[in-house]
């Protein structure tokens, strides 16, 4: 909480989010990794980890989980900023727009937003909840800038759930979710629906992964095993 209070960077408004993700502005950024936009090498393009796009199609490496996407309220002004309808092979997908590229580009070359003021605020709200302090007011600082209207007023478990939900939406696809689940000893719980926009398509192989499942620890690459006779593969692989 003390560390969060030291951060003076204001939150990005809902109107600034689109420009934030296309590098048209730096609203709400506390720390970033600047990508060399003059480089012609696609090796600098963080967005290709998420999708490979051109003017007519989007080949997504990741799309929104069906249930997660549908849990985002229509009054949430982030919804149309962080997602778009991706088209590939005549199928539509709830694709991720955060890493498409700079304004007018789909090359995936954008700065990496390492820490944003929104994360700092959500860290503070979570800590305040754990200490029995006024986490609701802190959470509402963010929600006031993200929703056309919302009910609010949560307490107890409902408040903790609201903090974690806002964290999941606000920081979606920015590299936080795995670590949030791991540090909170929570399972992966995904929809059994497929990857296409209407829920059809290919479902996940493992919709639910318990918090103690061996898959939370990634396998050591076989090349590393072969290169070092002392290397022991992680359990379960």
- How would residue 39 be classed by pLDDT, with cut points 50, 70 and 90? low
User: What is the predicted pLDDT for the residue at 35?
Assistant: 86
Candidates 76, 88, 56, 77; CA nearest to 197 is 88
- On whether the CB atoms of residues 12 and 117 are closer than 8 A, the answer is yes
The pLDDT > 70 percentage for the chain reads 97
Which pLDDT value is given to residue 43? 61
| Percent of the chain with pLDDT strictly greater than 90 | 90
- To the question of pTM greater than 0.85 for the whole model, the response is yes
In a domain, 224, yes or no: no
Domain membership flag for residue 212 = no
Residue 214 forms part of a structural domain: no
Question: Does a structural domain hold residue 194?
Answer: no
> Taking a C-beta distance cutoff of 8 angstroms, is the pair 193, 169 a contact?
no
CATH number at 167 reads 1.25.40.390
User: Has residue 229 been placed in a domain?
Assistant: no
Report the number of distinct structural domains present in the chain: 1
Check residue 38 and give its pLDDT: 61
Contact 37, 46 (CB under 8 A): no
What is the three-class DSSP state of 235? coil
Mean pLDDT across the chain: 94
Segments forming the whole domain that contains residue 153? 2-189
What pLDDT was estimated at residue 56? 86
- Confidence category of residue 92, pLDDT binned at 50, 70, 90: very high
Residue 44 lies in a domain: yes
């Amino acid at each position: 909480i003390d560390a969060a209070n030291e951060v003076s960077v204001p939150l990005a408004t809902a109107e600034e989010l689109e420009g934030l993700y296309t590098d048209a502005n730096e609203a709400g950024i506390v720390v970033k990794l600047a990508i060399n936009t003059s480089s012609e090498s696609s090796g600098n393009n963080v967005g290709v980890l998420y999708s490979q796009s051109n003017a007519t199609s989007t080949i997504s490496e990741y799309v929104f989980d069906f249930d997660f996407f549908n849990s985002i309220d229509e009054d949430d002004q982030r919804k149309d900023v962080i997602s778009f309808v991706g088209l590939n092979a005549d199928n539509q997908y709830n694709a991720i727009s955060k890493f498409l590229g700079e304004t007018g580009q789909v090359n995936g070359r954008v700065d990496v937003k390492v820490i944003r003021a929104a994360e700092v605020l959500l860290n503070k709200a979570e800590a305040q909840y754990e200490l029995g302090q006024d986490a609701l007011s802190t959470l509402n600082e963010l929600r006031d800038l993200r929703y056309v209207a919302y009910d609010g007023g949560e307490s107890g478990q409902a408040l903790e759930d609201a903090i974690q939900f806002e964290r999941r939406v606000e920081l979606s696809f920015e590299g936080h979710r795995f670590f949030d689940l791991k540090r909170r000893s929570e399972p992966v719980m995904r929809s059994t629906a497929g990857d296409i926009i209407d829920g059809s398509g290919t479902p996940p192989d493992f919709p639910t992964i318990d918090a103690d499942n061996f898959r939370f620890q990634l396998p050591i690459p076989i090349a590393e095993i072969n290169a070092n006779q002392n290397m022991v593969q992680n359990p379960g692989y």
